[in-house]
Amino acid sequence: MSMSRRQFVKVFGLSAATLGALGVAGCSDGTSGSGSSAGSDGSKIQTIKDRGVLNCGVKADVIGYGYMDTATQEYEGLEIDLCYQIAAAVFEVSYEEAREQDLCAFTTVTPTTRGTLIDSGQLDIVAATYTITPEREEDWDFSTPYRTDSVGIMVKKANGWTSMEDLDGQTIGVSTGSTTQQLVTEMIADEGFSCTPNFVEYQSYPEIKDALDAGMVQAFAMDRSTLNTYMDDTVELLQPEVEFGTQDYGVATEKGCDLSELVDDTVNELLDNGWMEEDIQTWLGESA
């Protein structure tokens, strides 16, 4: 009977990084597109080692998760740190060494480009508030969830709205390629609200906030962690006590690739040893 990589770890006590070096289990088809084709042994881990850098898809506009500091032009946040932890496992170095040696190359992604850039081979991993869904798991591998969030609805304080019912006939801005519209619609039905809002999709979060400020939409719906980036004195969450759309964030990788299990092992180790909770506290001021 064949043994899974996780069972191999449990029986022989080998680290994820060591197994990465051994190249246990290759990619499903031996190739992964331009810029990241697997080596002759079908191992994406070996391809990354040969390249010398881990290609990571991250957000640039979600404070606390993935954010581009315009002053330094550097990415920062929980998911940036997580990418360096994964790079450390791939290259068998410490977390500090992974940062010092710049072993991560970051690319800004959006909900519409995340999966596409994995498929094309341009990215090895995506850590970008990527919600795990059954549909997405059919196309990509996801790690154990490292963070759980829920959806919120931002509105202008000047409206004086206090209930979801105030959204009847109003327009809600959502991100293209996200699950938000479906989750809001389900919440309205589940909670017994009688409102029927309209939805408009935008390519980026700043565009939605600009549309809200300009009155082009009357609400901005998205994960609460994302909305936190755009909170100011003019806006508030509508009925924040109504928690819905709970979503698990995972690190996405190519389906069936040996990198997937190394990533999952790394995330689980960081959850078990308390690093994840400490980093969440650092960036979000919350417990895991």
Per-residue model confidence as pLDDT tens digits over 130-145: 999 999 999 999 999 9
CA distance 14 to 227: 41
Higher pLDDT, 138 or 24: 138
Q: Say what the pLDDT of residue 287 is.
A: 59
pLDDT for 44-54, tens place per residue?
999 999 999 99
- pLDDT confidence band for 4 (50 / 70 / 90): very low
- pLDDT confidence band for 40 (50 / 70 / 90): very low
pLDDT of 10 strictly over 50: no
- pLDDT confidence band for 7 (50 / 70 / 90): very low
pLDDT for 169-215, tens place per residue?
999 999 998 889 999 999 999 999 999 999 999 988 889 999 999 99
Rounded to an integer, what is the distance from CA 157 to the centroid of its chain? 29
User: pTM score > 0.85 for this model?
Assistant: no
pLDDT for 55-100, tens place per residue?
999 999 888 999 999 899 999 999 999 999 999 999 999 999 999 9
